[in-house]
Structure 1
């Protein structure tokens, strides 16, 4: 750029304004265009209103006349509520309906007033005129009118067919004649629609009529259910072909609706025939019908243009195929093998993986197999429910005697489902399919967890299904518990989480770090199954005393061993389960020895004591918490067992306090010291109540003395502690109940002792300048003194005239008013003195 030539100079030389100025100019021009467009639209609305009005002609612009667009916008006319095409369509449809009604009325009412020739002439002329009229109408561009007249012509052809049957062929079977008439009408309407391609009504009407001929013909022939079902399915196949091959959208829609409707009707009929088949021959015929339905669904999935519908059609076709093959197997197999037969056919669908199949079909068939397997598993649920829930009935018949076999053991409160002998095989088969299907991939863990659950259910129902002896059933469940617990212990239960570092400077935790791992679905599943099996085993063992003791002892040892050998979540759950079963074993042992419940409570206390010792040795937080919670629950059980015997209850509460105090020694469990103190106090109170001690001081002093000692030690360690915090609770526990008792006591000893104690507390508070002692002691002393003076005050009030109290009150108010300022000063001084106290 030459020296001295600036950017502003260049812009002025090229007539290009600055960007800001150019933007302002563009905005101004756009506003001008918007205003101009608004004026033109207003003028257009006014002109349309003038043209629609028959009274006022459109004004012409002359030299002396200025258009309204340049002066003021004309008033906008009222907007019509219906468009011209809508009015036209309503009129045409209404006219066609009226003509159709008139034609029907003529055919049904006035038909008999004409001769044969007249009838033929009238029908032929009217029908020909109605069918021929659309040709000139279409040439003149009146398509909607042509559609209405064509619809009238189609209705007239139906009336012609009806009239022909009534006059010329009255002895012909009505159903057969209807079949032939509908077939002929469908062909004629289709030809008529093809010849007049601009009409949209004849082709869909022909397609809708085509749904009837085959079905009516089969009904007229007196065929059975199989033939009627076949007619429905053939019609559905015809509709499917038309829906997939015809380009006219209205015909495709009608064909698709017909395919789904007749196909569903035929499928339900074929399924019912397959289920009702009593022999291989009937089952084979029903299977052929189902195979036809499956072929229709799979063919539609193969050729369907919509990718969303293809997998669903393929899945439906696979399910129908399973129903066809399974129905044949059902006819030759016993009733108990019906579900396994269908399941076998469903599993066989997984083998259909040809590359020649479309992707949609290959994706749909596995879903069909999954649906069959899910239904098979659902069939086993009633049996699994009986096996799991049935043993709960032994809770009302504890140690009533061992049953004869495992089936009697689980049906103590529920009946055994019939024809379920093959349920274990079904569960095992589905479990095997899950394992083989999901041998890799992201869903492998979830699939293996499901397979473990199904295999466990199979083993669970096997003893009752085979009617094994009662001890053998218990042994099998015990082995299952040990196996599932071992699988949980040795599974790869630590999976890294997706959590990142907790801070920008902290590196990510390693995958093997306990803080950054979580149990896998397999670990959680096996651990849950182990617990559930153990509970089921305990419920079954309640039938016999020896079985109960053996099962509880074995489970206690088993879970204790698992807790010793493993870590993390497995240790926590196993330790808690072991302690729980130990508590149950203590109760069962005491019951076996004919001990009273309060004596059993002392035996149960071994469990919380053991839990406290174990918790002190464990390093992990989760197992420690689980052990402590289980021990606390066992302690509550012991307290409940001893509740009806106060002396033993006091002993149990004291022992629980000892356990809590021992736990409070640990630095992380200091707060349990309050629990221990509460338990000791409750033990003391229960013991006093058992001795029938009614004095409240006997209950409150054991609380007050330790509370005051604790408060004194706390103030020694922390001089800033308030006297209300240190001494308030301890003093209140004794002074308030004793004061309430003193007010209702006619004797002199309690008021004297309480007053003396309150005086000592007041003096100590005054000497040490402690607010809590001064207020509580002084208040108690004042109330005790008032209680002692109350009889004399009442006697004096009886001797005083009735006018004396109001007079004294008035004098008092006057005196207070006279010395109000001095009293305020004294009150502030007292408040300052109390405020300087602790």
Structure 2
């Protein structure tokens, strides 16, 4: 019987007519989404039943007894859909424990009961592994101690007999236990047997049976014997039992030991490495043929160790003496060729295409290094030229080879590109040192000479190789990213690499400063042209690179005022062009960079005219202000403001009349703010800023002139502003008094207030206080905000200044009592308001 039956109702199990949404018997919704979920669950139950039946048929244990059959777990099973009546009054008898299954044929003990998923600790199958591992370790330790203690007391026959007996006992016990299905015990004793075999060889070497008793040859013989015995023991199959794994692992360790011992004893490092590599590859091939991953991997690791040792020794010898005699007569070159062949051999023997291509790529690197060793003479220039030629050749191969075998050329091309990158970095680092030394020698910016020349240390390699090397590296990157990097990006990258490389190359020689700066400017112009023609992320990246290169060029040209003016002017043109584009990112970049470049160009031009640093701030302010008027955007205005303030800070130390100069600068700044407010409707709030700057300029100038009667200068302008404001109020009912009258009222009262604060006992203080009183009363009577606020605020400040000298004469308890009275009054008022609110809420709640 199936649980998931689409022809029957899942509740009453009656047959369902075709296409009905509701069961006609029990009225169950059989087309509801919950019914779909229920049907999926029942199908899962059918799958589980089939899996359980398959596992039950394959179970090798004995049949259940009659008593076990008569007492099923949990009571009798009922078919799906049948009603189940719970028996609350009858306790459920405990279920009988299932029979213990027999041991599997693989030799691993199975659990003796159901697994509790909440149980933690050491698993049952791990206990024999731990015990047998400790036992094997103890047996080997005991054998070593026994031989060390009893060796001198035993004769030759006794020694031979003991060693052979221990070895034979261990290996035979391993086979017998493994044949009986005790695999873990067999693995452990096989390790003991192979360890005893090593002791046999060491004992034979100590007895002089292996020649001169060299420890290297003894270790080599021991490792080779363990490799052979481990391979044979690991490949031996006893009955239906699986092969042992530990001897296969020890076979690879034995090969590595044999190689190291032979290297230490013979002195023929290259020959020993190749022989050991051949043996390790042969053992790995045997493991592959026998489908034993443990033997294959251990032998492969041993082959990698032996191959690496031989290749490294041969490479070091070739680098120390890269002559043709050393390479081809003494065998270094042939050794490297053999190492390359061993890399390509595994893929060819195993007929695995991917492994063969990777081996061929590695072999190509080794062969390339071998062929280029005679051309290395220790000079970085010759190494760079050789790497440039060889990498170019592999670059052509990378472009010409079919896609199926192109990976062969990737490794040597990348290796050559890495060497070229290292040499190029050394050249660029020296150029950077020359540039920093030049700036240190010329700390004063804007020197009038345009013929400044670079100087400094020479590069370790020829700087003329820099541009070709960078182009080859870029070509390798472009070919590796074929299909993902567009042609326009490749062209832009090539132009960028060429320009930057040319600038760095020129910086490496004692040339005029204008040459590397011109190369950087041309490169920046190329990047900006790409940004103007492109769109998206590529255009934004080109714009960022162009502006960055323009900034570097300008910073490099700072010691020369004419060169800095030309460079910064060109950069300003490019930034303004970007700021007028439709792309938001490029517009923001251009807007942020335009003002600094304009300011720097103007400052350099001022120094060219020999006007001095004192006259830099005002022309820079005018220049960036006009730029902000032409491009009324937030980023342009912010950059213009920062540039103007920086120019002011740099000019003030050179000015003799700081007050007059500051007043002039503030006046120009106020004029520019007012002009922006008049020309751009969105910048109307700048009108107030401009008036404040103009007023501040007036005060600064008055203070600088030591004027004691400011009203003579402020009242005429204030009366004019008030007259204009009153006229505006009469013409427009929507105009507020704050907009129309507040500037004039502030100009009338604030300058006088400043003098009153310094001299409170004066006629000016009396007149100002009376004026504030009149303004307050008039504003309250006319309901005008501007006179009321001005009179109240300024009058309060005057009163506080007048009462200040007498505040200390009043006893402290008066102020404390006054504060307490004020707080008490506030508390009473607050409580009264709360009670009134509650009464109002209650009254509204009683309304129907």
* TM-based fold match above 0.5: yes
Query: 2:75 — aligned with what?
Result: none
Q: Shift of residue 297 of structure 1?
A: 3.8
Q: Shift of residue 483 of structure 1?
A: 6.2
1:676 lines up with 2:690 in the alignment: yes
Select which of 434, 454, 461 maps to 2:497: 454
Q: Distance in 2 between matches of 1:667 and 1:744?
A: 40
Q: Shift of residue 757 of structure 1?
A: 0.3
Q: Distance in 2 between matches of 1:706 and 1:437?
A: 75
1:348 lines up with 2:393 in the alignment: yes
Q: Shift of residue 736 of structure 1?
A: 7.9
Q: Distance in 1 between matches of 2:502 and 2:526?
A: 16
1:120 lines up with 2:160 in the alignment: yes
Select which of 120, 123, 146 maps to 1:106: 146
CA contact (8 A) 2:499 2:519 kept: no
Q: Shift of residue 694 of structure 1?
A: 6.3
Name the SS of the counterpart of 1:342 in structure 2.
helix
Name the SS of the counterpart of 2:96 in structure 1.
helix
1:636 lines up with 2:645 in the alignment: yes
Q: Shift of residue 684 of structure 1?
A: 1.4
Query: 1:72 — aligned with what?
Result: none
Q: Distance in 2 between matches of 1:27 and 1:724?
A: 87
Q: Distance in 2 between matches of 1:439 and 1:631?
A: 44
Q: Shift of residue 782 of structure 1?
A: 7.6
Select which of 405, 417, 430 maps to 1:373: 417
Map 1:540-689 to 2 at 5 A: 540-542=556-558, 548-550=561-563, 552-553=565-566, 556=569, 560=573, 568=581, 580=596, 583-608=599-624, 610-611=626-627, 614-615=630-631, 631-643=640-652, 644=655, 645-664=658-677, 665-689=679-703
Q: Distance in 2 between matches of 1:391 and 1:705?
A: 61
Q: Shift of residue 95 of structure 1?
A: 2.8
CA contact (8 A) 1:147 1:200 kept: yes
Q: Distance in 1 between matches of 2:572 and 2:79?
A: 85
Name the SS of the counterpart of 1:88 in structure 2.
helix
Query: 1:426 — aligned with what?
Result: 469
Q: Shift of residue 445 of structure 1?
A: 3.9
Q: Shift of residue 250 of structure 1?
A: 1.5
Name the SS of the counterpart of 1:417 in structure 2.
coil
Q: Distance in 2 between matches of 1:168 and 1:790?
A: 113
Q: Shift of residue 670 of structure 1?
A: 2.7
Select which of 443, 448, 453 maps to 1:396: 443
Deviations 1:308-366 (A, max 9, x none): 988876665554444434434324x843121332343334334556999995x633642
1:143 lines up with 2:183 in the alignment: yes
Q: Shift of residue 193 of structure 1?
A: 3.8
Query: 2:844 — aligned with what?
Result: none
Cα 1:130/1:725, change in 2 over 3 Å: same
Select which of 391, 394, 417 maps to 2:459: 417
Select which of 227, 232, 253 maps to 1:191: 232
CA contact (8 A) 1:267 1:293 kept: yes
Q: Distance in 1 between matches of 2:338 and 2:713?
A: 89
Cα 1:340/1:129, change in 2 over 3 Å: same
CA contact (8 A) 2:171 2:189 kept: yes
Q: Shift of residue 231 of structure 1?
A: 5.7
1:20 lines up with 2:28 in the alignment: yes
Q: Distance in 2 between matches of 1:232 and 1:600?
A: 79
Q: Distance in 2 between matches of 1:791 and 1:265?
A: 94
1:169 lines up with 2:209 in the alignment: yes
Q: Distance in 1 between matches of 2:794 and 2:642?
A: 42
Query: 2:538 — aligned with what?
Result: 520
CA contact (8 A) 2:579 2:591 kept: no
Cα 1:697/1:231, change in 2 over 3 Å: farther
Cα 1:143/1:536, change in 2 over 3 Å: closer
Q: Shift of residue 385 of structure 1?
A: 4.1
CA contact (8 A) 1:482 1:558 kept: no
Q: Distance in 1 between matches of 2:594 and 2:778?
A: 55
Q: Distance in 2 between matches of 1:85 and 1:741?
A: 97
Query: 2:107 — aligned with what?
Result: none
Cα 1:280/1:477, change in 2 over 3 Å: farther
Q: Distance in 2 between matches of 1:168 and 1:345?
A: 54
Query: 2:846 — aligned with what?
Result: none
1:329 lines up with 2:370 in the alignment: no
Q: Shift of residue 651 of structure 1?
A: 1.4
Deviations 1:168-201 (A, max 9, x none): 5275232224323432343234334444554333
CA contact (8 A) 1:431 1:452 kept: no
Cα 1:703/1:232, change in 2 over 3 Å: farther
Q: Distance in 1 between matches of 2:372 and 2:321?
A: 12
Q: Distance in 1 between matches of 2:350 and 2:502?
A: 45
Q: Distance in 2 between matches of 1:337 and 1:792?
A: 91
Q: Shift of residue 101 of structure 1?
A: 2.2
CA contact (8 A) 2:340 2:363 kept: yes
Select which of 231, 234, 253 maps to 1:208: 253
Q: Shift of residue 220 of structure 1?
A: 1.9
CA contact (8 A) 1:353 1:362 kept: yes
Name the SS of the counterpart of 1:112 in structure 2.
coil
Query: 1:257 — aligned with what?
Result: 301
CA contact (8 A) 1:552 1:582 kept: no
Cα 1:731/1:217, change in 2 over 3 Å: same
CA contact (8 A) 2:572 2:598 kept: no
Deviations 1:206-235 (A, max 9, x none): 332122334433432233x54565566556
State the Cα RMSD in Å. 5.4
1:767 lines up with 2:807 in the alignment: no
Consecutive unaligned residues of structure 1, counting only runs of 5 or more, are: 1-7, 49-75, 496-517, 617-623, 829-838
Q: Distance in 2 between matches of 1:346 and 1:792?
A: 91
Q: Distance in 1 between matches of 2:334 and 2:618?
A: 74
Deviations 1:727-757 (A, max 9, x none): 7797678768866865774634033102220
Aligned residue pairs: how many?
728
Map 1:730-749 to 2 at 5 A: 742=756, 745=759, 747-749=761-763
Query: 1:43 — aligned with what?
Result: 96
Q: Distance in 2 between matches of 1:782 and 1:678?
A: 22
The TM-score, its normalising length taken from structure 1, stands at 0.70
Q: Distance in 1 between matches of 2:82 and 2:291?
A: 51
Q: Distance in 1 between matches of 2:126 and 2:681?
A: 87
CA contact (8 A) 1:445 1:520 kept: no
Q: Distance in 2 between matches of 1:793 and 1:136?
A: 111
Cα 1:112/1:708, change in 2 over 3 Å: farther
Q: Shift of residue 103 of structure 1?
A: 1.9
The TM-score, its normalising length taken from structure 2, stands at 0.70
CA contact (8 A) 2:417 2:476 kept: no
Q: Shift of residue 691 of structure 1?
A: 1.3
CA contact (8 A) 2:444 2:559 kept: yes
Cα 1:239/1:566, change in 2 over 3 Å: farther
Name the SS of the counterpart of 2:152 in structure 1.
helix
Map 1:799-838 to 2 at 5 A: none
